[in-house]
Amino acid sequence: MSTENVRVEVDYNASIPNNVALAEDRRLLKALEEWHPQYLAWWGDMGPEGFNDKEVYLRTAVGVDPKGWAVFDHVKMPDYRWGILLAPKVEGRTIPFGKHKGEPVWQEVPAEYRSMLRRLIVIQGDTEPASVEQQRHLGATAPSLYDMRNLFQVNVEEGRHLWAMVYLLVKYFGKDGREEAKMMLQRRSGNEDSPRILGAFNEETPDWLSFFMFTYFTDRDGKMQLESLAQSGFDPLSLSCRFMLTEEAHHMFVGESGVMRVLERTCEAMNEAGITDPYDVEAIRKMGVIDLPTVQRKLNFHMSVTHDLFGSELSTNAASAFEAGLKGRFKEEKIDDDHQLYDDTYPVTQLLDGQLIDVEENAIAAINGRLLDDYIKDAKGGIGRWNKMIAKLGIQFELTAPHKAFNRDIGQFSDVCVTPQGDIVEQATFEANISSYLPTESDLNYINSLMKPCYEKGQYATWINPPKVGINQRPVDFEYVKLA
Amino acid sequence: MVFMRQHLIDPEVCIRCNTCEENCPIEGAIEHNDDNYVVNAALCEYCMNCIAPCPTGAINNWRNVRQPYSLEQQYLWDELPASIEWADTEGTTEALEEEANQILDVAHQGSGVVPAPATAARPQINLWSQGSPAKAIVAGNYRITEAGTESDVRHIILDFGSQSFPVLEGQSLGVIPPGVDDNGKPHAVRLYSISSPRDGERPNYNNLSLTVKRIAYGEHDETKKGLASNYMCDLQKGDEVEITGPFGSTFLMPNDAAAHIVMLCTGTGVAPFRAMTERRRRMGIVGSGKTMLFFGARSASELPYFGPLQKLSGELLDQELVYSRVGAGTKEYVQDRMLKRASDLAELLEDEDSHFFVCGLKGMETGVENSFKQICLEHNMDWDKIRTTLLAEGRYHIETY
Ligand SMILES: Cc1cc2nc3c(=O)[nH]c(=O)nc-3n(C[C@H](O)[C@H](O)[C@H](O)COP(=O)(O)OP(=O)(O)OC[C@H]3O[C@@H](n4cnc5c(N)ncnc54)[C@H](O)[C@@H]3O)c2cc1C
Ligand code: SF4
Ligand code: SF4
Ligand SMILES: [Fe+2]
Ligand SMILES: [Fe+2]
């Protein structure tokens, strides 16, 4: 079976909903049917804790065309129809970049790139269940039913993303692929013996501000990776990622609007109390809202940790994947160059003679550096919108993105101390000031003290505003989760 | 057009994720710069492809405007401008489902968004939706054009049992043809005007009637059958039909017995006018309001409700039946007959109690408007000015398809 069988409509009568004519490929179907109960068992063990028997107002795709893919209903999470959905195929698509540029896209795995491709899929796939595990305790402290619903929607969609990657592994990588699929359910976020592959996915998501920051900054790494994989010359990967991106947009929304509502509540509370100094932390915290400097430190943490996810700015792995036509650049189709880059350069910030300097590097070697820059530009957009709202409420405070060399463990800057403003400092100076860069124990304790569940329909915790509009045009006091 | 319903994006809610632009089939209808995502009013075709995928709901914003906001204006916004509640467009939401709304937008293009007549009753809309349609039972299906003629128009009676389906004269309802299209998706809804008055086809029964024409059309030299109309025309007594609605909150009958109602229609466009006429017949002749009908068809044998119309007194209904296909030389359209009644119509155009309704095929609009213009010219009246006043006061309504 090739992706010629990919259809717009989804077969929901099948045990595994799909638009890839699964029923016609018996071996694949059997393999996935074996994996299915293991997945459900994983969801039971490691999915959202305590809410699997509650009805949640979730969105399920009934088709992958614009009109078919947002049907809303109250369902229990374990009954969510996880399935295999590929975006509609583009006829006559050719490989958009790298040394095979212009050749027809691959419908089967090219033998020479088999292990590289498998690695890319495994790394992407591993992040999906990881974030579900990281967030599994948050239901217990949800600031509203609306937010709880958004959390669970993100969770079931991350589960579906895992399905998407597992489908590729099982269908195209035989026994190895089946083995990898199993491993996806065996690694555990934060587990010392079998951790998740990438560092940031082993950090716990301890509170709701962390969750919003994570979905804004760290899921955005996922978005950038999916965007680059959506360019892939391996067509099934491209089609999978294209559909995943539409779901990823929802995660971006949860993060951006979540932080926005936290900031808005704080600024409004300050105005109501007549507090104009955003650094008057004690007075602000007395009102049960999160002071803006703490939000800045949380931002510094999540954004810098996410920078590491892009890997080394200069990377031979990324270069090979680009040359092979497996993983492209963000918005490859909109970039005006030859898409092969043999003679091109790209400026990569580096530490030279004690200074941070942009050095022109071979553009293929700098693929990761470029993706990181694209990420930073994308992430700064939302920070700008948060600032607009703060300014509109008359508070003198501006959030800023930390310098990309700040707090790095991977890449060019892992051995140097750089402040969020981008100044290189001695290690001692850095450590002396760290409490103004990154959240302190007491910041985290304070945030933690606010994490009390708010389960009344239409009620929102003290530290966050209700959203401007509800989900699917429902009111903000809609029963997004039926707890009774 | 007095108003336009402009499609806008709320910059305060939008997260600039590009999903809408990705899904919009019209090149350039959605564009963006580093600040905002915006919809181009000149290009957007109201296809609604962008609505469901938008993760935030930012794109589901609509404003009644006299002059659309330009792209330059939209790029400068930090928030949406307050929706201007034009006093005269309050309550003009025709449906709560975008699909039906869009169909009615197109049907009302000739007039733009206009308010309901001042004395119309408050309509209920969208009590039933695609997600949970009402299930009506066919209580009767009668051909009302002469057998053997090309036009097969049916009077179809639907019974709603215990389901609430309150309607007003002028409203329509949605029919969802059973089955799926070539892509395996449910069929799009079709709208049909309700042709019985508010108290039911049979007074105080929970039923209503529709007037449906069987559609056949040529495509590449073969004749194709209209999907919904053939489904409806073939219904048997006892069949179950999925219905959404009711829809429409502007094309409504004035309640005032002193209101003059001038009805101009062709073919099944008569449906809402049968409802209004029947409403007035059942009320008895109680006020000074005139009821006047201009009704065009090919011939008497193809004119829906020809028989019943003959039985109505001239006092109740001043009717002008017009035929376009009777022997040579007598070919006549609604617009021609209007000119023959020019002085009566001129008088009505000046009367503040007059309401004008146009319903039927899109093609009839221009002729009707030209005749109004001509009549005004002959009587030293300014049609453009009168038209603007009529629209603003909810006394001129166009619903064509
Ligand atoms: C507000 C509103 C009220 C309406 N009220 C009525 C009503 O009371 N009675 C009624 O019968 N219909 C009414 N219609 C029209 C109805 O909704 C359908 O469009 C019509 O029945 C055709 O649908 P179908 O599924 O049979 O045709 P489709 O399968 O949708 O095929 C439509 C095709 O037929 C052609 N076509 C459609 N209608 C006609 C036509 N009248 N003459 C020639 N070609 C046509 C189109 O060009 C198109 O190619 C109304 C429409 C609107 C918007
Ligand atoms: S309604 Fe259709 S045409 Fe208009 S902006 Fe949305 S997708 Fe584009
Ligand atoms: S899809 Fe919605 S949120 Fe995303 S850019 Fe478009 S309007 Fe904004
Ligand atoms: Fe994901
Ligand atoms: Fe995500």
Could you read off the pLDDT of B265-320 as tens digits, one per residue? 999 999 999 999 999 999 887 788 999 999 999 999 999 999 999 999 999 999 99
CB atoms within 5 A of ion ligand 4 belong to A 128, 158, 161, 222
How much distance in Å is there from the Cα of A248 to the middle of ligand 5?
5
Q: Give the span between the Cα atoms of A302 and A299, in whole angstroms.
A: 5
From chain B, the residues in CB contact with A257 under 8 A are 13, 15, 56
Residue A474's pLDDT is 80
Q: Determine whether the interchain pair B57/A9 forms a contact, defined as Cβ–Cβ distance below 8 Å.
A: no
Say if A3 is an interface residue toward chain B (CB within 8 Å): no
CB atoms within 5 A of ion ligand 5 belong to A 219, 222, 251
As a whole number, the mean pLDDT across chain B is 90
Cα→Cα distances A122→A118, A127, A173, A186, B118, Å: 6, 9, 11, 13, 66
Identify whether A163 is part of a domain.
Answer: yes
Distance from CA of A249 to the nearest CA of B (A): 6
Residue B1's pLDDT is 41
Distance from CA of B61 to the nearest CA of A (A): 11
Distance from CA of A56 to the nearest CA of B (A): 17
| DSSP annotation of A478 | S
Choose the closest CB to A63 out of B17, B23, B185: B185
DSSP string, A24-85: G-HHHHHHHHHHHHHHHHHHHHHSSTT-TTSEEEEEE-SBSSTTTT-EEEEEEGGGS---B-
Could you read off the pLDDT of A311-320 as tens digits, one per residue? 999 999 999 9
Choose the closest CB to A67 out of B49, B57, B78: B49
Q: Give the span between the Cα atoms of A5 and A400, in whole angstroms.
A: 48
Q: Give the span between the Cα atoms of B174 and B248, in whole angstroms.
A: 11
Q: What structural domains does chain B harbor?
A: 4-112 (3.30.70.20), 134-247 (2.40.30.10), 260-400 (3.40.50.80)
Q: Give the span between the Cα atoms of A444 and A440, in whole angstroms.
A: 6
Looking at the CA of A226, which ligand is closest? 4
Q: Determine whether the interchain pair A472/B15 forms a contact, defined as Cβ–Cβ distance below 8 Å.
A: no
DSSP string, B61-123: EEEEESSPPPHHHHHH-SSPPPP---GGGTT----SSHHHHHHHHHHTTTT-S-PPPTTPPPP
Q: Give the span between the Cα atoms of A78 and A59, in whole angstroms.
A: 14
Q: Check residues A390 and A8 and name the one with the higher pLDDT.
A: A390
Q: Is the pLDDT of residue A136 over 90?
A: yes
3-state secondary structure of A318: helix
Say yes or no: CB of residue B201 within 6 Å of ligand 1.
no
Q: Give the span between the Cα atoms of A351 and A355, in whole angstroms.
A: 5
From chain A, the residues in CB contact with B55 under 8 A are 249-250, 252-253
Task: Give, using CA atoms, the residue closest to atom 4 of ligand 3.
Answer: B17
Mutate to test the pocket of ligand 2, among B32, B50, B54 (most ligand atoms within 8 A of CB): B50
Task: Give, using CA atoms, the residue closest to atom 8 of ligand 2.
Answer: B24
Q: Give the span between the Cα atoms of A484 and A260, in whole angstroms.
A: 30
Asked if B32 contacts B38 with a C-beta cutoff of 8 angstroms, the reply is: yes
- Residue A127 burial by Cβ neighbours in a 10 Å radius (0-12, 13-18, 19+): buried
Could you read off the pLDDT of B320-374 as tens digits, one per residue? 999 998 775 678 999 999 999 999 999 999 999 999 999 999 889 889 999 999 9
Query: pLDDT over 70 for what percent of chain B?
Result: 95
Residue A1's pLDDT is 31
Q: What is the mean pLDDT of residues B31-36?
A: 94
Query: pLDDT over 90 for what percent of chain A?
Result: 84
Task: Give, using CA atoms, the residue closest to atom 2 of ligand 3.
Answer: B54
**Residues enclosing ligand 3, CB less than 6 A?**
B 9, 14-20, 37, 54-56, 58-59
3-state secondary structure of B396: strand
Q: Is the pLDDT of residue B375 over 80?
A: yes
Residue A372's pLDDT is 97
Q: Give the span between the Cα atoms of B36 and B80, in whole angstroms.
A: 11
Mutate to test the pocket of ligand 1, among B108, B220, B229 (most ligand atoms within 8 A of CB): B229
Q: What is the mean pLDDT of residues A462-470?
A: 94
Identify whether A253 is part of a domain.
Answer: yes
Q: Determine whether the interchain pair A246/B49 forms a contact, defined as Cβ–Cβ distance below 8 Å.
A: no
Choose the closest CB to B78 out of A68, A253, A388: A388
Residue B65 bridge partners (DSSP): B4
Looking at the CA of A255, which ligand is closest? 5
Band (pLDDT 50/70/90 cuts) for residue B2 is low
Say yes or no: CB of residue B137 within 6 Å of ligand 1.
no
Choose the closest CB to A249 out of B48, B55, B57: B55
Q: Give the span between the Cα atoms of B249 and A181, in whole angstroms.
A: 56
Residue of chain A with shortest Cα separation from B188: A67
Identify whether A15 is part of a domain.
Answer: no
Total count of domains within chain A: 1
Predicted ipTM beyond 0.85: yes
Could you read off the pLDDT of A153-178 as tens digits, one per residue? 999 999 999 999 999 999 999 999 99
Distance from CA of B244 to the nearest CA of A (A): 18
Give me A11's structure tokens.
Answer: 């077969």
Nearest to A163 by CA among A19, A27, A35, A22: A35
From chain A, the residues in CB contact with B12 under 8 A are 389, 468
Q: What is the mean pLDDT of residues B104-130?
A: 85
Identify whether A4 is part of a domain.
Answer: no
CATH of the domain at A160: 1.10.620.20
Band (pLDDT 50/70/90 cuts) for residue A4 is very low
The domain in which residue A274 lies consists of 22-482
Alpha-carbon Rg for chain B, nearest whole angstrom, is 22
Any residues with CB less than 8 A from the CB of A105 and at least 6 apart, and which? Answer: A93, A94, A95, A233, A234, A235, A238
Band (pLDDT 50/70/90 cuts) for residue A344 is very high
Could you read off the pLDDT of A235-287 as tens digits, one per residue? 999 999 999 998 999 999 999 999 999 999 999 999 999 999 999 999 999 99
Say if B23 is an interface residue toward chain A (CB within 8 Å): yes
Residue B329's pLDDT is 64
Residue of chain A with shortest Cα separation from B56: A253
Q: B56, B101, B126, B189: which to substitute to probe chain A, counting the most A Cβ within 10 Å?
A: B56
pTM (predicted TM-score)? 0.70
Task: Give, using CA atoms, the residue closest to atom 38 of ligand 1.
Answer: B215
Question: Which ligand 1 atom is at minimum distance from the Cα of B194?
Answer: 8
Q: Determine whether the interchain pair A8/B184 forms a contact, defined as Cβ–Cβ distance below 8 Å.
A: yes
Say if A256 is an interface residue toward chain B (CB within 8 Å): yes
Nearest to B154 by CA among B62, B263, B241: B241
Say if A246 is an interface residue toward chain B (CB within 8 Å): yes
As a whole number, the mean pLDDT across chain A is 93
Give me B314's structure tokens.
Answer: 């001239």
Question: Which ligand 1 atom is at minimum distance from the Cα of B177?
Answer: 25
**Residues enclosing ligand 2, CB less than 6 A?**
B 7, 24, 26, 29-30, 39, 44-50
Say if B182 is an interface residue toward chain A (CB within 8 Å): no
Chain B, residues 27-86, CB within 8 A of chain A, namely 34, 48-50, 52-53, 55-57, 60, 78
Q: Give the span between the Cα atoms of A339 and A323, in whole angstroms.
A: 10
Q: Check residues B331 and A195 and name the one with the higher pLDDT.
A: A195
Question: Which ligand 3 atom is at minimum distance from the Cα of A253?
Answer: 3
Distance from CA of B327 to the nearest CA of A (A): 50
Q: Is the pLDDT of residue A412 over 90?
A: no
Residue B52's pLDDT is 80
3-state secondary structure of B214: coil
Identify whether A184 is part of a domain.
Answer: yes
Identify whether A9 is part of a domain.
Answer: no
